Chain A
């Protein structure tokens, strides 16, 4: 809200492990979903009678079905390697935001009901009953994990902590304890087709406005086609790309790439969303229903290729899960990656000389790249090892002269979450978001000081919205954040394909 007085922690020259601040974030609590929002997803509207027994049954169901989850719950030896790897812990100092401690909120309940030691001697093995106060801790602290999986990179057992957060959210949804931001949005996708609730006619109007604007700026008829049957490529992108700044500048970039390369493409009003918040709440059923729209649109429009725009977790879902959720894709052109990331597509065109740039048009920008967690730690690109790190940077370097990476321990698979991922990009969690951005802001400050960096490019709609909001808290200009295809848009030569 307008008067929210959130203070950013001071940037430190040498980041060190913070002094513990017990319960510092105990007051951080997202708004609960309304009954209507929960019921629209098939969840109980509010906390059900007999919730404890039902929650325990649900945990049993999850660990029986998901062997990975069971291993992650059993294997932790509390070595502590993860403790100082979480941006929320580093930014808040709340010990329950140490990944091991946060996951133990779930693990101790699992132990109580599903392990012999926990059943017989709960106190000896750190097992605990699922009480109201434990459930309250779950709601508060599992909504302080952005499922970024940085801690997992450092875990000697390879425990995927995000899986535990997702399981906790799945259990909570199953007993009527849903979170408003994610559940309201998923409902909108089912009903209208995108996170914003942007209906077809509004989308059409928005795209027409963009066509007019780009025509005024460039003199070229760069098109933003919607629902065009027979197009070669269907682009599925976050609806924020239609709606918000800086996101929209990347959408303009995609359109210019297709224009310059002479590829017929289209957007879809049925699948007008790449984001898939089903993954954030750990729900396979929601993920499948959301992704299903993409398959339906691709078949209906008769496209031969599927391309995903700049959205971090959407690329994880597309790259890692689409095949099982909505495959097989035997109707698509197998000469191209299925699905393909917009950066892969642009990179391929650059490599083949099909698009070229006037790099000096980006000379006002000294650029760095923020690796988005889901792209960095849960996907690949271009079929080459570490392609998800190499390709976006190669696209930036093709479009801009000045590029500097941030410190190695803060990029690639070590990247820090922007602080707003995993379904936490909501105003009532602003304090958490500002504090969680601390490690990234410290790394950014270094390249600002050393190289005069003034633009941080990224390929995720959440990162863009989160940084646009929190950068000013750290005395940076909100215009410093933008998309990789925003840089492409600035510098691409449009040629004579109009």
Chain B
């Protein structure tokens, strides 16, 4: 599968996750978000940017408690919980936010 961004074809797997993580850009993220029916606000970007920073350091998306803690610090304690993350990413913060951030899908019993 592939998505088209600014006339360029970008390869994804069957589920729409980027095949090459290096293909990611903000335009690509916006395109994936559109397909997911997610309207990217500043708060969405805070999550996506944190996921990418964490991935760069640890080669994995952050665990949900790590993510909620970091988002609570950035956006305020009332937003540092998974309920808020589900409001942003209804299909689940781990999978949907990772997809938009260009990270691999978390696998296993999650």
Contact = CB atoms under 8 A, between A and B. Distances in A.
Contacts of A198: 60, 63
B109 A195 contact: yes
Contact of A202 (B15, B35, B58): B58
Contacts of A245: 64-65, 82
Interface in B54-109: 58-60, 62-66, 69, 82, 90-92, 94-96, 104, 106-109
Given A2-B90, A196-B107, A427 B95 contact: yes
A194 B35 CA distance: 31
Interface stretch (A93-101, A352-360, A460-468): A460-468
Interface in A471-491: none
B108 A196 contact: yes
A185 B36 contact: no
A188 B104 CA distance: 13
B109 A1 contact: no
Nearest to B14: A31
Interface stretch (A43-51, A204-212, A318-326, A390-398): A204-212
Given A202-B59, A205-B58, A196 B15 contact: no
A199 interface: yes
A464 B110 CA distance: 8
B37 interface: yes
B38 A244 contact: no
A1 B82 CA distance: 19
Interface stretch (A132-140, A234-242, A342-350, A401-409): A234-242
B65 A213 contact: yes
A242 B108 CA distance: 12
Select the residue from B14, B64, B65 with max chain A CB neighbours within 10 A: B65
Nearest to A3: B37
Interface residues of B, number: 29
Interface string B7-39: 000000011100000000000000000011110
Contacts of A239: 108-109
A199 B58 contact: yes
B14 A196 contact: no
Select the residue from B37, B62, B108, B109 with max chain A CB neighbours within 10 A: B109
A195 B106 CA distance: 9
Contacts of A194: 108
A244 B86 CA distance: 13
Name B's interface SS.
loop
Select the residue from B37, B64, B82 with max chain A CB neighbours within 10 A: B64
A181 interface: yes
B107 A464 contact: no
A209 B60 contact: no
A245 B86 CA distance: 12
Given A31-B14, A238-B109, A425-B109, A206 B36 contact: no
Contact of B69 (A199, A213, A243, A461): A213
A228 to B, nearest CB: 20
B108 A195 contact: yes
Nearest to B108: A195
A240 B64 CA distance: 10
Interface in A210-245: 210, 212-213, 238-240, 242-245
A129 interface: no
A2 B59 CA distance: 25
Interface of B: 14-16, 35-38, 58-60, 62-66, 69, 82, 90-92, 94-96, 104, 106-110
17 contacts: A2-B36, A2-B38, A2-B96, A31-B14, A185-B108, A196-B107, A197-B104, A199-B58, A209-B65, A238-B109, A239-B108, A243-B108, A244-B94, A244-B109, A244-B110, A247-B110, A428-B14
Would you list the 4 A-B pairs with minimal beta carbon distance, nearest first?
A195-B108, A461-B109, A202-B58, A2-B36
